[in-house]
Amino acid sequence: ELARLLHTAPRAVGGACGANAIALVVPCHRVVASMGALGGFMGVTTGDPITVKRWLLTHEGYRFGA
């Protein structure tokens, strides 16, 4: 949806978020993949950053699969 609003490709949005050096200040964790999938965070799709992303989204009230 963000890519559509910006008239750009979803990969461009993902690339910008992946390059974000201040991920907790600029809330890239709120960008999720299509169909509500978790997607990547801090330039990766597995590991500790994804655990942090899931925790942040849960803490903010995001409902997975909704």
- The identity of residue 42, as a single letter, is M
Q: Which of 13, 28, 31, 32 is catalytic?
A: 28
Catalytic residue flag (residue 28) = yes
Residues serving a catalytic function are 28
